[in-house]
Chains A and B, each alone.
Chain A
Amino acid sequence: MTLFSAAETPYTAIKRGVAESIHDETQVTFRDSSSVVRLQGVSRRFGQTQALRDISLTVQKGEILGLIGRSGAGKSTLIRCLNGLEQPDEGVIEIEGRNITGLSEKQLQTVRSRVGMVFQHFNLLSAKTVAQNVALPLKIAGMDKAQRQQRVAELLALVGLADKAQSYPAALSGGQKQRVGIARALAASPALLLCDEATSALDPETTRSILALLKSLNQKLGITILLITHEMEVIKSVAHRVAVIDAGHIIEQGPVWQVFAHPQSDLTRTLLRGLLPQLPENIAARLSDQPQGDVIYSVHFAGDDAQGDLLTRFAGALPGKFRLLQGGIDHIQHYAVVRFFIALPAANAADEQQILSWLHAQQAQVELVGYVASDD
């Protein structure tokens, strides 16, 4: 029941994990294709409110799945269904192939030891020390005291809190509390880690360090993670796949780079607003749909071949003049996601045609945004 191979000490694991930029590329390698979580047609109603509606979702072993939605979308209800804190009205929930719907509280106890949970407000026991908090799942699992102590020391080293074992939670910072929460969730070597808005109560810098920790745990231990959040930034930093939930229903899901590159729903586009290049405000304010002055296009494409030389090739391949208004390249997982806005003189239809056909040949998505009267 150890976390590390002989060569991997807690310290090297944590150092490497933290040293990695949270923006670097993630090679998604699944150890095997079996799913840790499988939901089929899950619905849950609270009185008049339909909290979850016909949800079907699979979390593969070893992946980080991000579930995003606005508050009240049903994220928390969904995640609480996965360890039986809530029971769905309809549908099937399988954890490691075992259907957990309709299990009694007693039967759920064994399922729950396979699922660790990290909470937004940490939920650490204030009357217990850090070490006692982390030891609790082990105590519940019936581990003897000597083994417990060793395991707790390992876990605290893993999250970088070896020196805080005897502190009480009240003496810790928010980030430290969440590290304890993560150590506690991992204690019983669960197959699945649920993170319920785990970084929402933390400042941006602490958020980054907690996300880096989660990412390194996923890579080093191969633990499957399902995290829910209302921030796309979190999804972008750590998730392999994303599912977008709205009004209790999953409206979109796919690999993170794909959803960033080609958001299908309005909600996804709204959630992405802060992360994708937007038309500069002074231009957006003057936008009209009457042909005049400059025509503005938004261009985006993505893929492993959408590499950094695109803009150079673009400029080199085109005879016509255009102005780059805004945009750039973002690297998500190991894909480049390119999105920019260009302006061309509306009068020159030939240039426009040539530019558009070149872009289409590159499989870019090109969208007419509108027209802006020339300001010169």
Chain B
Amino acid sequence: MSPVMIDLLLNALGETVLMTAISGLFSLVAGLPLGLILVMTSPGGIAEHRGVNRVLGLIINSFRSLPFIILLVALIPFTRFLVGTSLGTWAAIVPLSITATPYFARVAEVSLREVDRGLIDAVRAMGASKLRIVWDVLIPEALPGILSGFVVTLVALIGASAMAGAIGAGGLGDLAIRYGYQRFETSVMIAVIAVLIVLVCGIQWVGDRLVQRIDKRHA
């Protein structure tokens, strides 16, 4: 592979990492509270509220039901309003964030729901406020699961970012399509695949290590 190609590859890797990192971060910041609200307002939750639970569930399901490529296009006016352009890496981060947030909200919801009811009772019985229960019970007890779920979300984002080439966002997927596929440069295709595998394995490895470190549920 020529130095130019290597340059292109590194550039594309940078774009993919940027898109994944920023939209991943956004999904974490926005998705975790949504997951918390889902669990807290669900029947038997600590702030049971049928209306909020249903409406939020419906919104999340609606976004989750759209294939990313459609969301990408459908959100163009919104993206343009937000970042001033509908093209490029930053323009792709908007729909990526919006697709990852409900995804991560559901993933976090599953982990939060698995927190033993008895633990919540025990802390309620101490006279804890709802905020205290969230902060001292729900989040720390669900954290290993939430972190595992976040890794899954990041990997899904790497996949989704491949489609961002459709709006000129660049990234590894775009490189593979334009060079590897359309120009028949098999070496580029192979290089991209190799980089993607290393990237995903690396994220998973770091994630597993972190989960192992914070998980105190087993001796």
List chain A positions with a Cβ less than 8 A from chain B: 83, 85, 105-106, 108-113, 115, 117, 119, 121, 123-128, 136-137, 139-141, 168-171, 184, 188
Q: In the complex, A137 Cα to B132 Cα: how many Å?
A: 11
CB atoms of B128 and A140 under 8 A apart: yes
Give the complex CA separation of A168 and B140 in angstroms: 13
Map CB proximity to A onto B133-154 as digits: 1 under 8 Å, 0 otherwise. Answer: 0001100110100000000000
| B119 CB contacts on chain A under 8 angstroms | 123-125
Residue B70 lies at the interface, judged by CB distance under 8 Å to chain A: no
B34 to chain A, nearest CB (A): 22
A124-B119, A127-B143, A137-B127 given; 16 more Cβ-contact pairs under 8 Å: A83-B125, A106-B129, A111-B127, A117-B122, A119-B118, A125-B119, A126-B141, A127-B214, A127-B217, A136-B123, A136-B128, A139-B136, A140-B128, A140-B132, A168-B219, A170-B216
A170 touches B126 (CB 8 A): no
* A-contact bits for B111-124, CB 8 A (1 contact / 0 none): 00000101101111
Minimum CB distance partner of B121 in chain A: A85
Q: Is the beta-carbon distance between A123 and B118 smaller than 8 angstroms?
A: yes
> Which residue from chain A places its CB closest to the CB of B136 in the assembled complex?
A136
Contact assessment for A170 and B127 in the assembled complex, using a CB-CB cutoff below 8 Å: no
Closest residue of chain A to B217 (Cβ to Cβ) is: A126
**Minimum C-beta distance from A241 to chain B (A):** 24
Point out the residue from A105, A121, A127, A137 that lies within 8 Å of B126, measured CB to CB.
A137
Cβ A171 vs Cβ B219 within 8 A: yes
Chain A residues with CB under 8 A of B125: 83, 85, 112, 115, 117
B218 at interface by CB-CB < 8 Å: yes
Given contacts A168-B216, A170-B218, A170-B219, contact A125 B124 (CB under 8 A): no
* A108 near B127: Cβ-Cβ < 8 Å: yes
Nearest A-chain residue to B130, judged by Cβ: A105
Given the known interface contacts A170-B217, A171-B219, the answer about A125 and B126 at a Cβ–Cβ threshold of 8 Å is no
Contact B216 A140 (CB under 8 A): no
A168: chain B residues at CB < 8 Å are 216, 219
By secondary structure, the B interface counts as helix
- Binary per-residue interface labels of chain B (184-219) against chain A in the complex, 1 for a CB within 8 Å, 0 otherwise: 000000000000000000000000000000101111
Chain B: CB-nearest residue to A111: B127
State A119–B136 Cα separation when bound (angstroms): 19
Given A112-B125, A170-B216: A125 and B140 interface contact (C-beta under 8 Å):
yes
Report yes or no: B217 in contact with A112, Cβ–Cβ below 8 A: no
Q: Report the 10 A-B pairs with minimum CB-CB distance, sorted nearest first.
A: A112-B127, A123-B122, A127-B140, A109-B127, A113-B127, A168-B216, A123-B118, A137-B126, A170-B219, A117-B125
B136/A125 in contact, CB under 8 A: yes
Give the shortest distance, in Å, between B179 (CB) and chain A (any CB): 47
Specify the chain B residue showing the minimal Cβ separation from A82. B125
CA distance A102 to B81 in the complex (A): 51
In the bound complex, how far is the Cα of B126 from the Cα of A123, in angstroms? Answer: 12
The answer to whether A119 touches B122 (Cβ under 8 A) is yes
Contacts of B214 in A (CB 8 A): 127
Nearest residue (CB) in A for B124 is A85
Kindly report which residue of chain A lies nearest to residue B123, judged by CB atoms. Answer: A136
Q: How many angstroms between the C-alpha atoms of A72 and B42 in the bound complex?
A: 26
- Contact residues in A for B118 (Cβ distance below 8 Å): 119, 121, 123
Q: 8 Å CB contacts to A: which residues of B132-181?
A: 132, 136-137, 140-141, 143
Interchain residue pairs with CB less than 8 A apart (18): A85-B124, A105-B130, A106-B129, A112-B125, A117-B122, A119-B118, A123-B122, A124-B119, A124-B122, A125-B136, A126-B141, A126-B216, A127-B141, A127-B143, A127-B216, A140-B129, A168-B216, A188-B127
**Known: A121-B118, A123-B119, A128-B140. Is A136-B219 also a contact (CB below 8 A)?**
no
Distance in angstroms between the alpha carbons of A108 and B137 in the assembled complex: 19
Give bound CA distance, A90 to B144, whole Å. Answer: 42
Chain B residues whose CB sits within 8 angstroms of the CB of A170 once the complex forms? 216-219
A164 to B124, CA, bound (A): 25
Chain A residues near B137 (CB-CB < 8 A):
125
Q: Who on chain A is nearest to B122 by CB?
A: A123
- CB contacts (< 8 Å) of B123 on chain A: these are 125, 136
Q: Which single residue of chain B is at the shortest CB-CB distance from A110? A: B127
Q: What's the nearest-Cβ distance from chain A to residue B121, in Å?
A: 6
Taking A123-B119, A171-B219 as contacts, is the C-beta distance between A112 and B126 under 8 angstroms? yes
What's the nearest-Cβ distance from chain A to residue B217, in Å?
5
Report B-chain residues with C-beta under 8 Å of the C-beta of A125: 119, 123, 136-137, 140-141
A83 to B141 Cα, complex, angstroms? 24
User: In chain A, what residue has the closest Cβ to B126?
Assistant: A137
CB distance from A246 to the nearest CB of B (A): 25
B residues 51-107 touching A (CB-CB < 8 Å): none
Q: Which residue of B lies closest to A137 (CB)?
A: B126
A140 B141 Cβ-Cβ under 8 A: no
CB distance from A135 to the nearest CB of B (A): 10
What distance in Å separates the Cβ of A183 from its nearest Cβ neighbour in chain B?
13
